[in-house]
Every structure is written in structure tokens, then in C-alpha cells.
Chain A
């Protein structure tokens, strides 16, 4: 089946930029998403990118999409303690199902 892969853990110093990477396999994905999950909570949609775009910026968040390599990244500028969470990469398949990666736990160092 289709797959979404991302590293499980990232540790970043407060104030630095965080870059979370993701690869996917379905070339027909229409949208790609980044979701944030804080402990014990549901999912919060952070941002998304349409498959025909290669970059999207939204305040501190920058999404880069390399469709040829099926690689997606999320950059968080000036990382704060409140950014500590699990970040899920997800793709929307042609049948509208959303497939998630395993999530990257972002840990902020003081």
C-alpha cells in the first residue's frame, strides 16, 4: 500500500529553525499536510500544500515540496517551547483517504 515515512524524533534548540522531513510514495496525491498533535490532544492542521506547488510560507512555517523525489519538509523558524509536539506528515489520496506518517516528536532544548 501507499506509505508515508518520517523520522521519529528531532531535537532543536529554542530560537533555532526546525526542519522536519517526510517522504511519500503516492504520486497521485492531491494535497499534502502537516498536522500538530500535543500530548493527549487531537490533530491540529498546521498547513497544507497542493501537489502542483513547490513552496508555501505561512508566518513561521515554510513547506517545501519536491514532487519528483516525493519529499516534503516543514520548517519552523524561531522554534519556541510551545512548538514541542508530534508533527504528522499526511497525504490525501485520489479516493480522498488521508494517510499519515508515524509522526516526528519535536523536542525543544533550552
Chain B
């Protein structure tokens, strides 16, 4: 079945530095990928929709200059948290839509998430 690989699974960085998270679709092509953020004891919040070859679409309240998204190929989207601060510490999860497969419920596959801790 469709697999999405997310890397790294855990990262600790110093305040003020930038961190890049990768999301790869391993056996399918994805023109659209989604980035979610999960707060403790809260739901997953959609941050942005990543579109291959064009600019990402950000949800209201998400700073596009802080959370840079690049979808350079049909199998890779990256999320870069720039000038990270402790309040950016969270669990980030990506999701990819399998355009080649049956475009139904199983069209969405999630990565295993990245735990970011900013110290």
C-alpha cells in the first residue's frame, strides 16, 4: 500500500535556529501534501496544503514566513520551521494524497510524525 516517510522522527534544536522536516511518498506520486500540527491533548490542526510546483496554501493564522513549505517534486515536500522558538515545539505530521490510486478514502496516507522540541 501507499507509504509516506517522514524524517526526522524526533529533533531537538536551539531557539533561533531552523529545522527542516521532510515528507516523502515512497511508492506513489503526490501533487498535494498536507502539513498538520498536533498540540498536547488537542486535535490535529491543518497548517497548510503543499502543491507541487506552486506555492503552498496556508490556513488562517499560520505564519507563512515562519513555516516554509517547499514541494519541489512529486514525492517530496519539506516544512522548514525558521527561527524556532519554544512555542513551536509540537508534533508535526504530513499527509499525502495518492493521485495514481483510487481517489477515495484510501487516497490519504499519513507520515509517522516529527516531534520537535525547541530548547
Contact = CB atoms under 8 A, between A and B. Distances in A.
The 5 closest A-B pairs by CB, nearest first: A42-B112, A48-B105, A102-B43, A43-B110, A42-B113
Contacts of A35: 110
Interface residues of A, number: 23
Contacts of B104: 31, 50
B78 interface: no
Contacts, number: 50
Contacts of A103: 43
Interface string B23-49: 000000000101010000111101001
B97 interface: yes
B15 to A, nearest CB: 23
Secondary structure call for the B interface: strand
B84 interface: no
B58 interface: no
Contacts of A40: 113, 115
B105 A98 contact: no
B95 interface: yes
Interface string A81-108: 0000000100010001111111100000
A101 B43 contact: yes
Contacts of A97: 34, 46, 49
Contact of B46 (A8, A42, A45, A99): A99
B113 A41 contact: yes
B34 A98 contact: yes
6 contacts: A31-B104, A42-B93, A42-B110, A44-B110, A48-B105, A92-B105
A38 to B, nearest CB: 10
Contacts of B43: 4, 88, 100-103
A40 B114 CA distance: 9
A33 interface: yes
